[in-house]
Amino acid sequence: MSVDKEILKSALDIAVTQTMENMAFEEVEETNFEAQETIKKKEIFWVIIEFIHPKNGSMVLFLSKEAAQLLTESLYDPKDITPAIIQDAMAEILNTIAGCFLQNFLDPEEKFQLGLPVTGKGKLPKMKDLAGQYAYYIGENAVLNIMLAGPDFI
């Protein structure tokens, strides 16, 4: 059974917008920005989270070091930011986006379970059954990229 891609995209758009507006007080705008432009950067930050139940899959958030720094500065005092703080902030953001996404995508009374976010820098983790790749402008200069994968989202 295939997934309605419009419903999936709408659930993700709502999740990203709500998360960024509530956590970072940043406006969100969808873009056709190619993820390859971010991947070409010398240093990228990424975080992956697994969907455990009732859907099987994963979500990856990735952005350039510069975009990660800008986004983290909206959450923390800039003088306190370290690479570890940036990774923690990205994990917290993705955990919130993933939970909000599932709340919007699943039936309202359906319970779900997420794994713990795993962070990294550099080469992106491999994703099986890629269902979609999405990009959003956050604030004025940051591009946030999300990949969604898994057999339950194809």
Q: What is the pLDDT of residues 111-120, one digit of tens each?
A: 999 999 999 9
Residue 108 has pLDDT above 90, yes or no: no
pLDDT digits (tens, 9 = 90+) for 12-53: 999 999 999 898 888 888 777 665 566 666 688 999 999 999
Helices (H), 20-137: 35-39, 65-73, 83-105
Q: pLDDT band for position 1 (50/70/90)?
A: low
Classify the C-alpha dihedral 65-66-67-72 as positive or negative: positive
Q: pLDDT band for position 128 (50/70/90)?
A: confident
- Which pLDDT does position 25 carry in this prediction? 84
- Tokens read off for 54: 């009732």
Alpha carbon of 8 to those of 12, 27, 47, 146, 152: distances in Å? 6, 21, 20, 13, 11
Alpha carbon of 71 to those of 26, 68, 111, 135: distances in Å? 9, 5, 30, 15
- Which pLDDT does position 42 carry in this prediction? 66
Instruction: Quote the number of domains for the chain.
Output: 1
Neighbour-count burial of 93, counting CB atoms closer than 10 A to its CB (0-12 exposed, 13-18 middle, 19+ buried): buried
- Which pLDDT does position 142 carry in this prediction? 79
Residue 84 has pLDDT above 80, yes or no: yes
Domain encompassing residue 131: 5-153
* CATH code, domain with 136: 3.40.1550.10
pLDDT digits (tens, 9 = 90+) for 86-107: 999 999 999 999 999 999 999 9
d(CA 44, CA 149): 20
